[in-house]
Amino acid sequence: MSFRSGFISIIGRPNVGKSTLLNAVIGEKITIVSAKAQTTRNRIRGVKHLPHAQIIFVDTPGIHRRSGTLNVFMVREALSAMTDVDGVIFMVDASAPVTDDDAFILGRLKKAGPPVVLVPNKIDRVEKPALLPLIERYGALFPFREVVPVSALKGDGVEELVEVLVELLPEGPRYFPEDMTTDQPERFLAAEIVREKVFAFTHQEVPYSVAVVTESFSEDPERGLISIEAVINVERDSQKGIIIGRKGEMLKRIGTAARRELEGLLGAKVFLRLFVRVTKDWTRNVRALREFGYE
């Protein structure tokens, strides 16, 4: 069986249970810490690892009406994020009526294009017979690919939902190491800074062929030391040669500059190990990953 991977965003009005679902899917509490240097619009919230697939859940800015009028800018931002995902979970509160906001978002989603799964949540709070009319009402607004009612809180339906999501994903590589399940800003920061140094010191197409991934990040608070291993993915052997440089000079230069900056930002001594890897599959998706703020 081939490996599938891709991006899924969870959208829905506040309090419908998006965060609860994500925690249920990933299987551990995801705490969102915000790092100052993190300025990306779309953040990776969690990665679900399966033997045959990897689902990357991305955050989109909220879509809502503010004081009766739509925040057009936010809507536009959120919609642009929707066009670059492999699927969307549209989550609603099954114990609440359909709102104008829902209708509006769905209207816009039609233009955006990705397959959408309707996920009525909090089914532990509704009687079964009430669920069907609600699903029908939503179904009249949008041609959902699938409907998967869940109780994110109790975990009901969550496994079925994961299976449905995998079906939406294209064949693709394992983007993230298996120990990475949560949003970890320091990891992003480390990768971002290494990439910045690649940009500063290399030329022509090389900087654009690079995707940096932090593969391990461990802290030793007693010694005030942070050990980081990052991989610089390139497209071709020739680019690998450029990044490494003569006698490894370029890689050393990138590493030293990145380490110094990271030490300042993280307030700790940093041990940074860099590897260069030629990964064709990866770089094919660099653009997509950049859009999701992961580099």
Nearer to ligand GDP, 25 or 228 (CB): 25
Is residue 141 within the footprint of ligand GDP (CB under 6 A)? Answer: no
Contact (CB, 8 A) for 114 and 143:
no
Nearer to ligand GDP, 12 or 255 (CB): 12
* Distance in Å, CB of 194 to ligand GDP, minimum: 32
Question: 36: helix, coil or strand?
Answer: coil
Is residue 43 within the footprint of ligand GDP (CB under 6 A)? Answer: no
- Helices 249-266/237-244 angle, 10° precision: 70
Beta-sheet pairing, 269-278 with 116-121: unpaired
Element (H, E) at 251: helix 249-266
Is residue 62 within the footprint of Mg ion (CB under 5 A)? Answer: no
Nearer to ligand GDP, 18 or 195 (CB): 18
Binding segment toward ligand GDP, per CB under 6 A, in 11-19, 46-54, 206-214, 225-233: 11-19
Contact (CB, 8 A) for 215 and 295:
no
Look up tokens 């690998």; give the residue: 240
Binding segment toward ligand GDP, per CB under 6 A, in 67-75, 146-154, 191-199, 204-212: 146-154
Is residue 51 within the footprint of ligand GDP (CB under 6 A)? Answer: no
Q: Which of 52, 76, 125, 284 binds ligand GDP (CB under 6 A)?
A: 125
Q: Looking at the chain, how many residues does it have?
A: 295
Is residue 71 within the footprint of Mg ion (CB under 5 A)? Answer: no
Contact map string, positions 19 to 58, toward Mg ion, x by CB under 5 A: x---------------------------------------
Element (H, E) at 21: helix 18-26
Binding segment toward Mg ion, per CB under 5 A, in 11-19, 73-81, 174-182, 269-277: 11-19
CA 112 from chain centre, in angstroms, equals 18
Q: Which of 214, 169, 175, 157 is nearest to 191 (CA)?
A: 214
Give the whole-angstrom CA distance, residue 47 versus residue 258: 26
Q: Is 38 exposed, middle or buried (0-12, 13-18, 19+ CB in 10 A)?
A: middle
Residues 14-33 that bind ligand GDP (CB under 6 A): 14-20
Q: Is 101 exposed, middle or buried (0-12, 13-18, 19+ CB in 10 A)?
A: middle
Binding segment toward ligand GDP, per CB under 6 A, in 8-16, 27-35, 39-47, 286-294: 8-16
Footprint of ligand GDP on this chain (CB under 6 A)?
Answer: 12, 14-20, 121-122, 124-125, 151-153
Footprint of Mg ion on this chain (CB under 5 A)?
Answer: 18-19
